[in-house]
Amino acid sequence: MQADYAIIGGGVVGLAAGWGLIRRGQKVIVIDGEDGSFRASRGNFGLVWVQSKGLGAPHYARWSQRSARLWHDFAAELGAASNTDLCLEQRGGYDFHLDEASLAAKVRQYEMLREELGGNYPFEVLRSNALRREEPEIGPKVAGAILHHQDGHVNPLRLLRALAADIVARGGHILSGEHVEDVSQPDGFRLTCRSGRVVEAGKIVLSAGLGAMTLGPKLGFKAPVRPQRGQVLITEKLPKMMNRPSGIIRQVDEGGIQIGDSKEEVGLDDRTTIDTTATIAARAVAVMPGLARAQLVRSWGALRVMSPDGLPIYQKSRTMPGAALVTCHSGITLAAAHARLLPAWLEGADDAPDLEKFSEQRFS
Amino acid sequence: MNSAFRDLTPAQQLVPVTLDGDELMLPDGANLAAALLAYGVGVFRGTPVSGAPRAPYCMMGACFDCLIELHGVTRQACMTQVQAGLVITKPKGRDHADG
Amino acid sequence: MQMVDLAVIGAGPAGMTAATMAAGAGLSVVVLDEQPAPGGQIYRAVASGGTARADILGKDYVEGAVLVQGLLASTARHERGAVVWDIAPLDEGFEITFSQESGPSRVAARRLVLATGALERPIPVPGWTLPGVMTAGAGQILLKASGVVAGSAVLAGSGPLLYLLAIQMSRAGAPPLAIVETQSWRDQLRATPRVLGALRGWRTLFKGFGLLAELRGHAIRRITGARNLAIIGTGRAEGLQFTTKGRTQQISCDTVLLHQGVVPNTQASRALGLEHDWHHGQRAFVPRTDIWGESTHRGIFVIGDGAGIAGAKAAVPAGELAALQIAHQAGALDKATRDKKAGAPRKRLEAERSLRPFLEAAYPVAAQVLAPADTTMVCRCEEVTAGEVRKWAALGCKGPNQTKAFGRVGMGPCQGRYCGLTVTEILARSHDMPHSAVGSYRIRMPLKPVTLGELALLEPTDAAE
Ligand SMILES: Cc1cc2nc3c(=O)[nH]c(=O)nc-3n(C[C@H](O)[C@H](O)[C@H](O)COP(=O)(O)OP(=O)(O)OC[C@H]3O[C@@H](n4cnc5c(N)ncnc54)[C@H](O)[C@@H]3O)c2cc1C
Ligand SMILES: Cc1cc2nc3c(=O)[nH]c(=O)nc-3n(C[C@H](O)[C@H](O)[C@H](O)COP(=O)(O)OP(=O)(O)OC[C@H]3O[C@@H](n4cnc5c(N)ncnc54)[C@H](O)[C@@H]3O)c2cc1C
Ligand code: FES
């Protein structure tokens, strides 16, 4: 098989970039791993989130904001093309605090970032009464919440499906159940899969999530990513209980309350544990006491794709010109930027965004 | 109510419960799903996805189609025993959930 | 937390036997079962049903009382109404979390026996979600545990359970209107060469012939070779429609009891990540076990129907074998004694298993169930059709975890119990892949739903604020 671009990894990062490239007239093949491979795109929280991103790194805050701004148009276009409602809502999101001290500390951080961003950081603090007017289910243990108006959420699985469907509808190819083992560049690129299958392409995008740990060095990247586990809970479908999402609790469009998530350094282990799920449940019940009666239907662990500083990596290979590494730990938030802005950077076009600060050089 | 089921051993101790606010008498200690079916309850709930009507399918705690609310908590009727004073609500399903 | 020598999950014939024997060998044993009384599916409520029900259910059913008495007389601790919802391997042994009416508890055990039995095979036919449609097993459970019987029912599908249930309903004075069977005389013919092998399980086989004879006595209408089963009715079942010999017929009824055989309940064995193999005859995944029932994970045994369908008569010797090996591993039984005692149960187990190839051939799963029509719902919980699953397969989904992410099939409260095998069958066909390569859902905790309030009670104390 031959293409202009071979995308290694069909998670939300690879599919968003691939979709954007097709939209610009490129021929694209996406190669994606097995049914059981680690897939952050299948286990994430679904937030299109700005607050708390880029504390001490305003360029990352700006990049997240830019993507959040593009999300509305992106969702409309992709939704219409694939006949899918992505259930995007961008009416703000909360950060709940059980004590005054942690709330005050967060507010100070946000105020600093707001200054660095020239004032574009619209958040407000809601205290008990104001908060309960917005969210009547919030319990008395919550001291207050930060409401950030640039936040929102989306159905991340529908996003994944819509991207795949529209890539295929526009003539792209998705090869799943194939694991790229080796890449050579005799002339163009030659990708060899574990099954023996060979794919040829002019350029490649390495968006294999944690798969970049092994494949990256073969392509001349450091790819310093590591797994970080998050455990997430989902309840039975419930009548509407929340008007906006928070960083730890949100009501998904189908009705379930999704609760997360932990941050654990446990290597390539995506199991759940009672200690952590119980802690997550206890925190959720403290925030919304009514949840105590909700039935937990399922829990899962998923592995984040983390760089050392938590920021995305966009890097073009020096040893294999035409290969690019794209990875991030907020692939949902950044999906709009990856679909709309990144393709120009991959092509080296004039309208490419400046992503210099996100290169791997920062880790040397 | 007219039931599609027959109770072969009806001479049991009956206790009062409420179903959607109405009082009815069910056999003490009986399997709740079986007791409701024998009483003539044909539909247990509407689904949260489409609102479609459902009733017990497997009777062994595996299919989750017999879900009802007991004192506000969703439970499998087929895994519950009748006790005096149970407050049972039939989940209304989607149209309601969208509220 | 206390640590026992053995935890047994499931108090059916397999689990009761293993627990009683292991306790007899001096091991500390806890038995967890979500039902209010021991007995499992076949001997459900055996201790409480009374003699009237015994007359209806037959002599076999009463045999279960002996197993129940054995368990209750043993030193094994039996936890009633205990829903097991998490099992986690520890450095040594396992930790099991379960809920009873009083709340959640945890128990640690050096070894684990999974004896969680069988589930009815998913039967995705048009209308199978309508109120009034149940499994044949459900019809039998109503009779066994509650003395409740459907007044105007049609039994449909295939397998000996349909005959047994028809007889039990007839004895109860409520014979079904008809038995509509999907297997044909061709299937029966194909099965005949296997009768010879099945003769080793002659006791059970003859009982089957006895069943058929009694069934004839009850003069119940039987239709075989039925295809295109569909339940008709708006809002509830009003009848069964099917085709035989090219003609479409309908039978009006209030209740349709469906059956296509039973399959291993692998929720716990999957959640633990045990290796499973595709069993072609049973068209289901079975956990891989050795001759003692030990799985690919040391210290975890899987026995009874959960390890591959072989029936209650096979569940007892399987329980004995597991108990012998567990006692041996725990140092309570030397190798020679273990091997000497293993001879008899092993023979009985083999004999019972030898019957299966015959039954599998004589009562094959209906084609419409293995490859449901596009418009037929396969996932009852999330209301997803076969056509949708095929559409996602065409988008590149090669496994059930991918179709699940794309369209929620398998995401509801039943966690794929009643759609998992169907989705595997559909994907295997769509991609022309072996079932083993397609695989199955990743099962996660909780095995059964638990309230957040209950889960929160287990918060480690040092993490509490
Ligand atoms: C618990 C949790 C919560 C999260 N919440 C949010 C959130 O609310 N908002 C947000 O924006 N982000 C969130 N994220 C992060 C987000 O999910 C990830 O940034 C994103 O999914 C990463 O996508 P990816 O495509 O890089 O990786 P993945 O989804 O992991 O995809 C990588 C793909 O590459 C394939 N692959 C790997 N190696 C190879 C190979 N050699 N050959 C072929 N294919 C290969 C794999 O099969 C896989 O499908 C969360 C993550 C987690 C774990
Ligand atoms: C509905 C039904 C009806 C049947 N009727 C007949 C019949 O009439 N005649 C016949 O010969 N065979 C019948 N069978 C087959 C028969 O049940 C089995 O052959 C036999 O019971 C197998 O015994 P077992 O010990 O393996 O499992 P079972 O007897 O099924 O016991 C498994 C036990 O595990 C418990 N369990 C499962 N999961 C959990 C959990 N997470 N937590 C706590 N407890 C759990 C269950 O409550 C159950 O009591 C039927 C099967 C089914 C499913
Ligand atoms: S009827 Fe299936 S779970 Fe109760």
Same domain? For A163 and A207 the reply is yes
Same domain? For A124 and A244 the reply is no
Write down the pLDDT at residue C188: 84
Write down the pLDDT at residue A210: 97
What average pLDDT score do residues A244-266 get?
96
Closest to B34 (Cβ–Cβ): which among C137, C148, C417? C148
Domain that holds residue A105: 93-149
Distance separating alpha carbons of residues B26 and B82, to the nearest angstrom: 7
| Residues of chain B with C-beta less than 8 angstroms from the C-beta of C236 | 42-43, 53, 55
A295–B97 CB contact, under 8 Å:
no
Same domain? For A164 and A29 the reply is yes
A282–C456 CB contact, under 8 Å:
yes
Same domain? For A160 and A282 the reply is no
Question: For residue A359, what pLDDT band results from cuts at 50, 70 and 90?
Answer: very high
For residue A208, the ligand closest to its alpha carbon is: 1
Closest to B97 (Cβ–Cβ): which among A237, A293, A295? A237
Q: Establish whether residue A327 lines the binding site of ligand 1, counting it when its CB lies within 6 angstroms of any ligand atom.
A: yes
Q: Is the dihedral of CA C200, C203, C208, C213 positive or negative?
A: positive
- For the cut 60, the answer to whether the pLDDT of residue A83 exceeds it is yes
User: What is the total count of domains within chain A?
Assistant: 3
Instruction: Compute the distance from residue C293 Cα to the ligand 2 centre, in Å.
Output: 17
Write down the pLDDT at residue C52: 59
Tell me which fold the domain C371-433 belongs to: Arc Repressor Mutant, subunit A (1.10.10)
What average pLDDT score do residues A272-297 get?
97
| Domain C-terminal end among A288, A306, A324 | A306
- For the cut 50, the answer to whether the pLDDT of residue B99 exceeds it is no
DSSP chain B: ---SEEES---S-EEEEEETTEEEEEETTSBHHHHHHHHT----EE-TTT--EE--SSSSSSS-TTEEEETTEEEEGGG-B--TT-EEE----HHHHT-
Kindly state whether residue A7 falls inside one of the protein's structural domains: yes
CATH value at residue A277: 3.30.9.10
Q: Choosing among B67, B74, B95, B98, which should be mutated to test the A contact, i.e. which has the most A CBs within 10 A?
A: B74
Cis omega (within 30 of 0) on the bond before C446?
A: yes
Distance separating alpha carbons of residues C425 and C435, to the nearest angstrom: 7
* Three-state DSSP state, C236: coil
Write down the pLDDT at residue C465: 42
Q: Establish whether residue C11 lines the binding site of ligand 2, counting it when its CB lies within 6 angstroms of any ligand atom.
A: yes
Q: Establish whether residue B34 lines the binding site of ligand 3, counting it when its CB lies within 6 angstroms of any ligand atom.
A: no
Same domain? For A106 and A231 the reply is no
Q: Establish whether residue B64 lines the binding site of ligand 3, counting it when its CB lies within 6 angstroms of any ligand atom.
A: yes
Q: Which residues pair with C450 in a beta bridge?
A: A296
Atom of ligand 3 nearest to the CA of B67: 4
Same domain? For A76 and A174 the reply is yes
B65–C129 CB contact, under 8 Å:
yes
Q: What is the pLDDT of residues A87-102, one digit of tens each?
A: 999 999 999 999 999 9
Instruction: Compute the distance from residue C79 Cα to the ligand 2 centre, in Å.
Output: 17
Q: Establish whether residue C312 lines the binding site of ligand 2, counting it when its CB lies within 6 angstroms of any ligand atom.
A: yes
What average pLDDT score do residues A63-71 get?
98
Give which of A123, A108, A114 is closest to A58, Cα–Cα.
A114
Same domain? For A180 and A51 the reply is yes
Q: State pTM to two decimals.
A: 0.95
Q: Choosing among A241, A251, A295, which should be mutated to test the B contact, i.e. which has the most B CBs within 10 A?
A: A295
Kindly state whether residue A313 falls inside one of the protein's structural domains: yes
CATH class of C122-260: alpha beta
Instruction: Compute the distance from residue A10 Cα to the ligand 1 centre, in Å.
Output: 9
Which residue ranges in chain C fall short of pLDDT 50? 463-465
Q: Establish whether residue C41 lines the binding site of ligand 2, counting it when its CB lies within 6 angstroms of any ligand atom.
A: yes
Instruction: Compute the distance from residue C10 Cα to the ligand 2 centre, in Å.
Output: 8
A254–B73 CB contact, under 8 Å:
no
Write down the pLDDT at residue C43: 87
Contact present, A39 and C402 (Cβ < 8 Å): no
Same domain? For A287 and A161 the reply is no
Tell me which fold the domain C3-119+263-333 belongs to: FAD/NAD(P)-binding domain (3.50.50)
Q: Establish whether residue C261 lines the binding site of ligand 2, counting it when its CB lies within 6 angstroms of any ligand atom.
A: no
Kindly state whether residue A87 falls inside one of the protein's structural domains: no
Residue indicated by tokens 């936040």 = A151
Prediction ipTM score: 0.94
Same domain? For A56 and A176 the reply is yes
Same domain? For A73 and A172 the reply is yes
| Domain C-terminal end among A133, A149, A165 | A149
Contact present, C414 and C381 (Cβ < 8 Å): yes
Report DSSP state, residue C194: G
| Residues of chain A with C-beta less than 8 angstroms from the C-beta of C409 | none
The answer to whether A266 faces chain C, any CB pair under 8 Å, is no
Write down the pLDDT at residue A36: 83
Same domain? For A335 and A353 the reply is yes
The amino acid occupying position C459 is E
Average pLDDT of chain A is: 96
CA distance A336 to chain C (A): 19
Burial A306-336 (b: 16+ CB within 10 A, else e): bbeebbbbbbbbeebebbbbbbbbbbbbbbb
Give me the residue spans of the domains in chain C: 3-119+263-333, 122-260, 371-433
Looking at domain B14-89, its CATH architecture is Roll (3.10)
Distances (CA, A) of C266 to C65, C277, C284: 26, 11, 10
Beta carbons within 10 angstroms of residue A268's beta carbon: 11
% of chain A residues with pLDDT over 70:
100
Distance separating alpha carbons of residues B74 and B76, to the nearest angstrom: 7
Q: Is the dihedral of CA A49, A51, A57, A63 positive or negative?
A: positive
The answer to whether B97 faces chain C, any CB pair under 8 Å, is no
Instruction: Compute the distance from residue A40 Cα to the ligand 1 centre, in Å.
Output: 3
% of chain B residues with pLDDT over 90:
81
Write down the pLDDT at residue A110: 98
Write down the pLDDT at residue C204: 77
Q: How does strand A180-184 pair with strand A189-193? A: antiparallel
Write down the pLDDT at residue B98: 40
Same domain? For A47 and A162 the reply is yes
Write down the pLDDT at residue B95: 59
Kindly state whether residue A42 falls inside one of the protein's structural domains: yes
